[in-house]
Structure 1
Amino acid sequence: MATGTEPPQVNTGVHGATRATIAPRHLRTDRWWLAPALTAAGLLAFIVYSTWRAFANDDYYAAPYVSPFYSPCLAENCLPMQAGPNWEIFGSWWGLSPALLILIFPLGFRLTCYYYRKAYYRGFWASPPACAVAEPHKKYTGETRFPLILQNIHRYFFYAALPVAAILTYDTVLAFRDENYEWGHMGLGTLVFLVNIVLIWAYTLSCHSCRHIIGGRLRHFSEHPVRYRLWGWVGKLNARHMQLAWVSLFSVALADFYVYLVASGAFDDPRLF
């Protein structure tokens, strides 16, 4: 009769023949499953929301705000906008939402991010689900095969994320105008955009690739004082990379949702001055 404490019927990984035989799957007594469950729920919520907004193709512009999901707008079917770059690079043949042309870059940057890899590997694939908890997979190949080998292009997505962050900075500057595009305006949306762009830059610059680009492969920091100083600053941000990853994910969704509410007529943007 099974007692529920029998060792799993596998002979690889932590249950290999050369490892100590321990009957339970793990010895943890805390709620180890809570962190990966919350991670999976948070990421899934963002995936559902961003997918809905990306395919909605509507309510992404409310003067002077343009949703960060749709900026820069690169299709001919973009709404007439005076806020943010609106480059009709793609002709009339593009009939889908213009957000699909630009979201691939910031999403690719996040998907290949070292922290997000850990988050969704644990949250969705249970590889492993938590520290000191054996993963259920019998075989581990790492990131050496398709599609996970694509994780290695994270640095190139970092290069693509920089101009996107710069464009969102430009959008934030334009948010200091009123609905008639006159300067001197500051609404609640302006504050939402300001907080968002600060968090976007903090997350982007805290990237491990950014830290390596600035200070990697230097034999003597004393010969590169400027890069050393920058490397130190980025290192401090890098220590908060996980927190910045989450708060910037929330802020960019909040900025888009705020534009949606104003554009759909749910409420008027409160003017602060």
Structure 2
Amino acid sequence: MTTTSARTPRPQPRGGRARAAIAAKTLRTDRWWIAPLITVVGLSAWVIYATVRVFMHKWYWVEQYHYLTPFYSPCVTDRCVEGSSHFGQFLPGWWIIPDAALTLPFLLLFRLTCYYYRKAYYRSFWLSPPACAVPDGHQSYSGETRFPLLGQNLHRYFFYAAAIISLINTWDAVLAFHSPEGFGFGLGNIILIVNVVMLWAYTISCHSCRHIIGGRLKHFSKHPMRYKAWTGVSWLNVRHMQLAWITLGTLALTDFYVMAVAAGWINDLRFIN
């Protein structure tokens, strides 16, 4: 057997001409930049609104109907108005401390490390890459192997925190049916319930939840209940991107409605009591 150290030359195109040199960064002629642009505008608008609301420290609780916005749940600072604190007030009411400081950091980390949101802000804010067949906006790429991107691997643990926070939001929605005057039902209750349902749908559609339910199983036939649950979560998982955006919308809508009622801008539409 003979060997050769010379590399086999690449075949030349017909006619012996070299490949054409293309100066353009991409040959795409469609408006590929629209999707990243919409993502930047949408996420930026939501972050600005949420940041302003979190540090307003007012118009988050409607005593008459027990409406509490999810941006302030649970309210745990000594600045919280009476009745809005369902888990005590054990943090100082400094301006820089959010009233929901117990949950907001974990919600932020859960969203930041979400598989869909990674794709969204990698492509839109970091241009890495901005679209298919479009070159990366960076000269080098090391993946999620260095700080701070190494923290993306903690997503599965933030999922547990998000599930607990969803339970708290569910409790808030249930309490809203019991106002000081007794059982009541209004438009605010519908908005709170819809928001909670969407939050649960987004949370359990998480890839980590799907793995927890159906992972490490060799035979689904021996675990019919887990297989059924895994099938349902997989159905939601396909819609994880849509649920991610829907929940941003329901969170902002719920907060704005509670703010409007608490500030006296509008009256809650009541159906019972």
Q: Same fold (TM over 0.5)?
A: yes
Give CA deviations for 1:64-94 in whole Å, capped at 9, x if unaligned.
1001011111222211125x62322325678
Quote the offset at 1:96 in angstroms: 3.0
Alignment of 1:78 onto 2:80: yes
Aligned to 1:239: 238
8 A Cα contact 1:165 1:200, kept in partner: yes
- Residue 73 of structure 1 aligns with an amino acid whose one-letter code is C
CA distance in 1, matches of 2:86, 2:152: 30
Counterpart of 2:24, as a letter, is P
Gaps of 5+ in 2: 1-18
Deviation at 1:244, TM superposition (A): 0.4
In the alignment, what sits opposite 1:125? 126
Q: Which residue of 1 aligns with 2:182?
A: 182
- CA distance change for structure 1 residues 147 and 21 in 2, over 3 Å: closer, same or farther? farther
Deviations 1:50-73 (A, max 9, x none): 100111111110131001011111
The alignment yields a C-alpha RMSD, in angstroms, of 1.8
Q: Matches of residues 242-253 of structure 1 in structure 2 within 5 Å?
A: 242-253=241-252
Q: Which one-letter code corresponds to 1:81 in the other structure?
A: G
Q: How does 1:133-172 map to 2 (within 5 A)?
A: 133-172=134-173
Amino acid at match of 1:55: F
Which amino acid in the other structure matches residue 169 of structure 2? L
Q: Counterparts in 2 of 1:53-72, with a 5 A limit? A: 53-63=53-63, 64-72=66-74
Q: Which runs of 5+ in 1 are unaligned?
A: 1-18
Contact 2:75 2:100 in 1 (8 A): yes
Q: Deviations over 1:226-258 (max 9, x none)?
A: 111110000000000000000011101111111
Superposed CA offset, 1:143-199 (max 9, x none): 111111111110111000011000101111112234x2511x111111111110110
Percent of aligned pairs sharing the same letter: 55
Aligned to 2:13: none
Matches within 5 A, 1:1-273: 22-63=22-63, 64-81=66-83, 85-91=86-92, 96-178=97-179, 180-183=180-183, 185-273=184-272
Contact 2:74 2:102 in 1 (8 A): no
- In structure 2, the residue corresponding to 1:272 is in which secondary structure? strand
What is the one-letter code of the residue matched to 2:258? V
Under a length normalisation based on structure 2, what TM-score does the superposition of the two structures give?
Answer: 0.87
Contact 1:68 1:256 (8 Å CA) reproduced: yes
CA distance in 2, matches of 1:266, 1:90: 30
User: 1:92 and 1:55, CA in 2 relative to 1: closer, same or farther beyond 3 A?
Assistant: closer
Cα deviation per residue 1:1-43 (whole Å; 9 max; x = unaligned)?
A: xxxxxxxxxxxxxxxxxx9954321121111000010011100
TM-score, structure 1 as length reference: 0.87
Structure with larger Rg? 2
Alpha-carbon distance between aligned partners in 1 of 2:246 and 2:209, rounded to the nearest angstrom = 19
Aligned equivalent of 1:16: none
Cα separation, 1, equivalents of 2:93 and 2:48: 28
Paired residue type of 1:201: W
- Aligned residues, how many? 252
Q: CA deviation at 1:46?
A: 0.7
